């Protein structure tokens, strides 16, 4: 049984995960990369990146909205007024549930931030190339200065 080989189907080099990799990771639940069917189609790089950006922005907006609503709800429950024991226990339970939702949203945003940082680190080919070029220039200058020093010492 042979595995079909898919030739590259992009117009430029991608700085993100390839669609074939996303297809393999579709069963994974730990990734925060969007796995929509639009990304899995053969799109050009810009369209694929635009779709990924839109889905990530939607995820961030949803999580931030949960955090904002949670804070508003907690502040609303913190109002001091005449409350009976039932109302106090009801608000305590609501506060606990809201806080747990806020913690999940914050953890989701933290995980998404970590995923994006890793994507940037692993997909960024420009920065290491610039560092290598700077090191090569520095070493070339050191070699040239050593040659001139040795040339003067020989003469």
Do 40 and 113 reside in the same domain of the chain?
A: yes
Do 111 and 149 fall within a single domain?
no
- pLDDT per residue, tens digit, the chain (155 aa), is 455 555 544 444 445 554 444 445 444 444 555 555 544 455 677 888 888 889 989 999 999 999 999 999 989 888 878 888 888 899 899 999 999 999 999 999 999 999 888 887 777 777 777 888 999 999 999 999 998 888 876 65
Structural domain that includes position 74: 35-124
Same domain, 91 and 147: no
The pLDDT score that the predictor gives to residue 81 is 81
Considering the domain architecture, whether residues 134 and 114 belong to the same structural domain is answered as no
Same domain, 46 and 114: yes
Shared-domain flag, residues 110 and 137: no
Domains in the chain, number? 2
Do 131 and 115 lie in one domain? The reply is: no
Q: Quick one: 60 and 93 in the same domain?
A: yes
Instruction: Kindly state whether residues 145 and 109 are assigned to the same domain.
Output: no
Q: What is the secondary structure of 91-148 as a DSSP string?
A: HHHHHHHHHHHHHHHHHHHHHHHHHHHHHHHHH--HHHHHHHHHHHHHHHHHHHHHHH
Phi/psi at 7 (5° precision): -70, 155
Q: What is the pLDDT of residue 34?
A: 53
């Amino acid at each position: 049984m042979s595995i079909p080989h898919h030739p590259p189907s992009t117009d430029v080099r991608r700085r993100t995960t390839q669609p074939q990799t996303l297809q393999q990771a579709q069963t994974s639940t730990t990734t925060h990369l969007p796995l929509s069917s639009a990304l899995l189609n053969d799109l050009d790089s810009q369209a694929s990146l635009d779709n990924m950006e839109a889905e990530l922005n939607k995820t961030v907006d949803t999580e931030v909205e949960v955090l904002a609503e949670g804070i508003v709800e907690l502040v609303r429950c913190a109002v001091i007024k005449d409350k009976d024991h039932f109302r106090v226990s009801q608000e305590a339970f609501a506060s606990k549930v809201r806080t747990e939702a806020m913690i999940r949203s914050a953890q989701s945003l933290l995980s998404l931030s970590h995923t994006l940082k890793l994507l940037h680190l692993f997909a960024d080919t420009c920065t290491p190339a610039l560092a290598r070029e700077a090191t090569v220039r520095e070493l070339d200058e050191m070699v040239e200065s050593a040659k001139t020093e040795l040339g003067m010492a020989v003469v």
